[in-house]
Amino acid sequence: MPAAPPAPIRLLDLPAQHAAIQPELDAALRRVMQEGAFIQGADVQLFADELGRYLGGARVVPCANGTDALQLALMSLALQPGDEVIVPAFTYVATAEAAAILGLRPVPADVDPGTFNLDPAAAEAAITPRTRAILCVHLYGQCADLTALRALADRHGLALIEDNAQAIGATWQMPDGAVAHAGTVGEVGTTSFFPSKNLGCLGDGGALLTRDEARATLLYELANHGQARGRKYVHQRLGLNSRLDTLQAALLRVKLRHLADWTAARQRVAAQYDALLADVPGLRTPQRQAGSSHVFHQYTLTLHSEARRDALQQHLQHHGVPSVVYYPVPVHRQPAYAYLGYGEGRFPVAEQLCRTVLSLPIHPGLTPEQVAYVAAAVRMVSW
Ligand X SMILES: *Cc1c(COP(=O)(O)O)cnc(C)c1O
Chain contacts with ligand X (rule: CB under 6 A):
65-67, 91-92, 94-95, 137, 163, 165-166, 192, 194, 204, 206
- Rounded to 5°, the CA angle 120-122-123 comes to 60
What minimum distance in Å lies between the beta carbon of 195 and ligand X? 9
Please state the separation of Cα 217 from the chain's center in Å.
24
Biggest alpha carbon–alpha carbon distance for the chain: 66
Q: Which is nearer to ligand X, 69 or 250 (CB)?
A: 69
Alpha helices (runs of H) in the chain, residue ranges in sequence order: 14-20, 22-35, 42-54, 66-75, 94-101, 120-125, 146-156, 213-223, 246-277, 306-318, 348-356, 368-380
Q: Any catalytic annotation for residue 197?
A: yes
Neighbours of 348 (CB within 10 A): 12
What's at 65, amino acid-wise?
N
Amino acid at 290: A
If the CB atoms of residues 139 and 269 are measured against ligand X, the closer one turns out to be: 139
Closer to ligand X by Cβ: residue 101 or 376: 101
Instruction: List the catalytic residue out of 138, 197, 255, 297.
Output: 197
Q: How far is the CB of 39 from ligand X (least distance, A)?
A: 18
Residue 67 CB, nearest approach to ligand X (Å): 3
- Can you tell me the distance from the alpha carbon of 117 to that of 153, in angstroms, rounded to the nearest whole number? 16
β-strand 179-181 against 105-109: which pairing, if any? unpaired
What distance lies between CA 159 and its chain's CA centroid? 19
Instruction: State the Cα–Cα distance between residues 206 and 190, nearest whole angstrom.
Output: 7
Nearer to ligand X, 67 or 359 (CB): 67
Q: How far is the CB of 242 from ligand X (least distance, A)?
A: 10
Residue number of the CB closest to ligand X reads: 66
What is the distance in angstroms between the CA of the first residue and the CA of the last residue of the chain? 19
Helix (H) or strand (E) holding 61: strand 59-63
Considering the complex, state which of residue 223 and residue 377 has its C-beta at the smaller distance from ligand X.
223
d(C-alpha 76, C-alpha 149), whole Å: 20
Quote the least distance from Cβ 100 to ligand X, whole Å.
14
Minimum CB distance to ligand X smaller for 83 or for 204: 204
Measured CA to CA in angstroms, residue 211 lies from 25, 26, 340, 371 at distances of 30, 33, 33, 39
| The residue type at 265 | A
CB of 62 to ligand X, least distance (A): 12
The reply to whether omega before 337 is within 30° of 0 (cis) is no
Rank residues 161 and 283 by Cβ distance to ligand X and give the closer one: 161
Pick the closer one to ligand X by CB: 63 or 277.
63
Q: Using alpha carbons only, how large is the chain's radius of gyration in Å? A: 21
Helix (H) or strand (E) holding 240: none
**Smallest distance, Å, CB 148 to ligand X?**
19
Edge to edge, the sheet with strand 206-210 lists 59-63, 206-210, 188-192, 159-163, 131-137, 84-88, 105-109
Least distance in angstroms from the C-beta of 145 to ligand X: 17
Residues that are catalytic = 197
